[in-house]
Amino acid sequence: MTTIATQTESTPGAVDSEQRNPVFDELGFPKDPNNLYTQTVGSMLHAADMVDLQHRVKIILAQPKNEIMVHFPVRLDDGHHHLFKGYRVQHNNALGPFKGGLRFHPDVHLDDVKALALLMTMKCSLARLPLGGGKGGIKVDPHKLSPDEMERVTRRFTSAIMNDIGPDYDIPAPDVGTSAQHMAWIADTYQMSNSKSAYDGMRVVTGKPVEVGGSLGREKATGQGVADVMAEILPQIKIPIEGLRFSVLGFGNVGSWLARILQDMGATLIAVMDHSGALRCDTGIDAHALSEYSYEHYGIAGFEKSKAATDSGRGGKGADAISKEDFYSTPVDAFVPAALEQMIGPQEAEMLQCRVVAEGANAPCTPAADRVLQRRGIEVLPAILCNAGGVTVSYFEWVQNKACQIWDEETVDRELNKVMCMSARRTLLARQRYECDMRTAAYLAALEHIGKVYKTRGIFP
């Protein structure tokens, strides 16, 4: 049995100005320690220095290969045109085609997309998928658009980046603010414009609706993957899943699936918070009832007063609406941030009363929060390990489309579990070998693989 020490010598992927990696100056990075891209590259370089990654590979990975920014007009329902800004960042394709989601959110910025694209490269490498890393998005509040406007925005964006994506070149997928429906519009637009085979249209995106070539099990895959990693690692630190008490930040696709899956495995959802409010119930909130309610009401606010809570019969009727501070300080075994980046800073990290943080979202903890968690002996299961379930089932979808196959859900779940458990073991091994924190260990295991690929392939010319 692996033992996981909670205190380690190395500082978790920190990037304070006084610890600025020389690569930052070589590449002219801005000196803003709060910048998500600088923080993410800092964590990656911290691990790269430990594993003695060749300098040329460090500088390649510290910048994306391509940064595409487009502006495109779309007619809104009231007849006037709005100019939208969209991004596609292609970080690295040494392992395979660029791969990663498309985010529709009002706060999408280039540096955030760059950070998320780098994380995709690391995720795919840690999971040993033959895929690279990319990410994209549109600066838009999807909740302010009608379904027709949303369709026009998605199709026009697809046409703007048409020559930059492709079924063997760059394959988008859903992310925050996008769903299977968006992927169906992208597939259709791509196929109509390229008039290539139907298979190309299908394979150019993953996360499609099942009837449009999507994979069974893809919708729940990210939440399922987080649960798989928790079930693999937590019992090793004597925290069984049966009886586990957990809280979730964010109740969208990842948070709500994870909560339902963990509940079905015998765990209890004690507290939850999203953009609309926070709830706590010490006897357990019914994750299934809450998911249905949240889907219908676009948020969890008011659940405690609803018929769904009373009917759920799991103590849901006793749930209280609580403050943000009370949410963070609710005692649980595991806390799962499953919302946006940088939501857990040092203040939130000080408030947490948990033994483990399992990152369902990308980059939810800042480096300063990481240091607080480490000082307090709270184990962090990092995002590049925990939330790779989405891209893993995306890979299965792409393979099924390529081979004209349809896998049953049992096969998808089984294969996903294998990939997640292998990634968890690789991370634990790296942690033991380098005596470091879990975040650095996950990066080390990812970098070892991509470093070997660069060493063997060499660099053109």
Q: How far is the CB of 362 from ligand GLU (least distance, A)?
A: 6
- With binding defined as CB under 6 A, does residue 284 bind ligand GLU? no
Q: For residues 44 and 117, what is the distance between their CA atoms, to the nearest angstrom?
A: 13
Looking only at residues 115 through 174 of this chain, which bind ligand GLU when binding is defined by CB under 6 A? 173
Tell me the DSSP string of 235-264: GGGT--STT-EEEEE--SHHHHHHHHHHHH
**Closer CB to ligand GLU, residue 47 or residue 171?**
171
Q: Select the span of 93-101, 159-167, 257-265, 332-340 touching ligand GLU (CB under 6 A).
A: 93-101
Residue 31 Cβ vs ligand GLU, minimum distance, rounded to whole Å: 28
Tell me how far apart the alpha carbons of residues 121 and 132 are, in angstroms, rounded to a whole number: 5
Residue 44, sorted as left (phi over 0), alpha (psi -120 to 50) or beta, turns out to be alpha
Which residue of 362, 366, 400, 423 would you call a contact of ligand GLU, by CB under 6 A? 362
Q: Which is nearer to ligand GLU, 39 or 374 (CB)?
A: 39
**Candidate list 99, 114, 123, 135, residue with the active-site label:** 135
Closest separation between CB of residue 296 and ligand GLU, Å? 24
Under rule CB under 6 A, residue 93 binds ligand GLU: no
| Cis peptide bond prior to 33, omega within 30° of 0 | no
Nearer to ligand GLU, 164 or 282 (CB): 164
Residue 135 annotated in active site: yes
- Is residue 439 close enough to count as binding ligand GLU by CB under 6 A? no
Residue 206 found at the interface with ligand GLU (CB under 6 A): yes
Stretch that binds ligand GLU, among 31-39, 98-106, 278-286, 410-418 (CB under 6 A): 98-106
Question: How many residues can be counted in the chain?
Answer: 461
Beta-strand relationship, 133-139 and 81-92: antiparallel
The stretch near ligand GLU (CB under 6 A) out of 95-103, 229-237, 290-298, 422-430 is: 95-103
- Whose CA is closest to 109, among 132, 138, 80? 138
How far, rounded to the nearest angstrom, does the alpha carbon of residue 136 sit from its chain's CA centroid?
Answer: 13
Q: Does 101 bind ligand GLU (CB under 6 A)?
A: yes
Distances (CA, A) of 193 to 148, 165, 186: 20, 13, 11
One character per residue 375-414, x = contact with ligand GLU (rule: CB under 6 A):
------------x--xx--x--------------------
Distance CA 118, CA 92 (A): 8
Longest dimension (CA), the chain: 67
Please tell me the count of residues contacting ligand GLU according to CB under 6 A. Answer: 12
77 exposed, middle or buried (CB, 10 Å; 0-12, 13-18, 19+)?
exposed
Q: How far is the CB of 394 from ligand GLU (least distance, A)?
A: 3
Sequence-separated (6 or more) residues with CB below 8 Å from residue 237: 3, 4, 355, 356, 379
Residues forming contacts to ligand GLU in the complex (CB under 6 A) are 99-101, 173, 175, 206-207, 362, 387, 390-391, 394
Active site members = 135
